[in-house]
Amino acid sequence: MTYQLISSYNFSFVPTSGFNFTRFFFNEAEHLRQQGGEEVYTFYWKNLDSQLFIARFSVIILEEKGFSPLRATFGGIEFSEELSNESLATFIQLAFCSLSKLESVQITFCPESYLSMNQREAIDFCFEKLSFKHCIVDQNFEIAITDLSFYETLNSSRHKQLLRKAVKNTFSFRQEKEPDLALIHAFITRSRMRKNRKMTITLANLRRSFELFSDNFQIFSVIDEQKMIAVGVTVKITDEILYTFYLADDEEYLKYSPTIYLISGIYEFCQRNNFKLLDLGIATEKGILNEGLAQFKQRLGAKKSLKKSFLYNFENK
């Protein structure tokens, strides 16, 4: 087969069709434009026989360093399962020739659960061949969406008991169709401060995300009468994957664990809308495991997968 490398600088070329691989929201041009940086390079690998794009890779430049992503949960290289390891390696090598002026490139991939076994092996093959280094390996947790009820997916009798109590109480789950973003941002900030975790998005950026990507961002809540006691912000990664961007709860309701009821509602939302995977995010901080958080997600029925970041340092800089 014959392939062609097509390079796009600052979105000079943005195809809208002809892709033979799964595209993730964070790697689309619309989202890349919001991540900031100084320059953006996107590389496409085209099969000239089929006239289909079979790989894509974007890098955002900031202070002579490349990032994929700069500001998102992941970036990485998207590619077809039909692409051979050697051809993928050639694509990456050619892309990096265009980036050789940089000091380094850091790439964070999606969780391995998003990929087939062949794709995982292809990535490891290429990065070993090209002398990349693992800089961080995080542990991610996802719940497979099946015909089972959320109650049946729970791996803890205690969690099942808490879910039953939430159903019996006056708690209600809802999707916030017209969210008060200032209220929600403040609620999430308080929850994260209590847990000694930084708030990673400003209110202005949260507003911008909902304005620009109304089809991708959703907010769900748990209400006790008129009081909000839990909130979840989600992002549609593909038509089959929903990612929980933020989860937050009210300190006064911790004994009820309203997050369990919140996830139950989001799980049912996924069932109704034909999602196949609910991504609960990582339970690590720069690769260091938060055992309590990991156990909580596993007891919700989530399975662990790895989320890898690679670093490449250019020589002779």
Reference 76, options 98, 55, 62; nearest CA is 55
**Proportion of the chain above pLDDT 70, given as a percent:** 99
| Tens digit of each residue's pLDDT (9 = 90 or more) over 144-194 | 999 999 999 999 999 999 999 998 888 999 999 999 999 999 999 999 999
Confidence of residue 286 (pLDDT cuts 50, 70, 90): confident
Please write down the HEC assignment for all residues of 2-55. CEEEEEEECCCCCCCCCECCCCCHHHCHHHHCCCCCCEEEEEEEEECCCCEEEE
Q: In 3D, which of 276, 287, 244 has the Cα closest to residue 114?
A: 276
Which pLDDT belongs to residue 28?
Answer: 98
Dihedral angle over CA of 210, 235, 285, 142, nearest 10: 160
Residues 232/220, Cβ–Cβ less than 8 Å: yes
Q: DSSP 3-state assignment of 217?
A: strand
Distance of CA 158 to the CA centre of its chain: 29
Bigger pLDDT: 170 or 8? 8
The answer to whether 222 and 173 are in contact (CB under 8 A) is yes
Taken in order 191, 197, 198, 204, the sign of the CA dihedral is negative
* Burial group, residue 158, by CB count within 10 angstroms (0-12, 13-18, 19+): exposed
CA dist., res. 123 & res. 74, Å (int): 15
> N- to C-terminal Cα distance for the chain?
35
Backbone angles phi, psi at 193, to 5 degrees: -60, -40
- Confidence at 18, pLDDT banded by 50, 70, 90: very high
The confidence score (pLDDT) of residue 317 equals: 45
Rounded to 5°, angle at Cα 83 from 12 and 75: 50
pLDDT band at 197 (very low <50, low <70, confident <90, very high): confident
Contact 238, 23 (CB under 8 A): yes
pLDDT digits (tens, 9 = 90+) for 226-265: 999 999 999 999 999 999 989 999 999 999 999 999 999 9
Q: What is the mean pLDDT of residues 197-206?
A: 92
Percent of the chain with pLDDT over 90: 92
